[in-house]
Amino acid sequence: MEPFPGVFVTSVATQEWESDPEVPGSLMHELVHADGLQAGMSRFTEVDGPVTWTPEKREVAMIIEGAVRIELADGDTLDLQTGDLFSLPPGKETTWHVTVPFKEMWVLAAD
């Protein structure tokens, strides 16, 4: 919601979700897509195996609900849970093993 020009507001309890065309099986709620920045939330209520994701821009995210093990293409692994913050560089290939229910808040911005 944009209550004033350039000001965007939402709630983590929103019921307004749509399919994310870039991440099959997930739903997204976009807060803002302006000024070279994109921010919102993603959630999974069920998963059918690992999910691959390669951000095109720097990603900064916080786990709001659930947990995830993120395997990085170089073999390193991140084990994240509710309250954890993380950041991925653009082009970093990842494989996500999501524990549902799962919800994250994310920001994508150019380096």
The pLDDT assigned to 111 comes to 61
Burial of 30 (0-12, 13-18, 19+ CB in 10 A): middle
Q: Would you tell me which CATH number, out of the four given (3.40.190.80, 3.20.20.70, 2.60.120.10, 3.50.50.60), belongs to the domain 18-109? A: 2.60.120.10
Give the pLDDT confidence score for residue 24 in this predicted structure.
85
Looking at residue 110, its pLDDT comes to 76
Query: Where do the domains of the chain lie?
Result: 18-109
pTM, full prediction: 0.93
Mean pLDDT, contiguous 10-residue spans, the chain (111 residues): 94 96 92 94 95 96 98 97 97 97 95 61
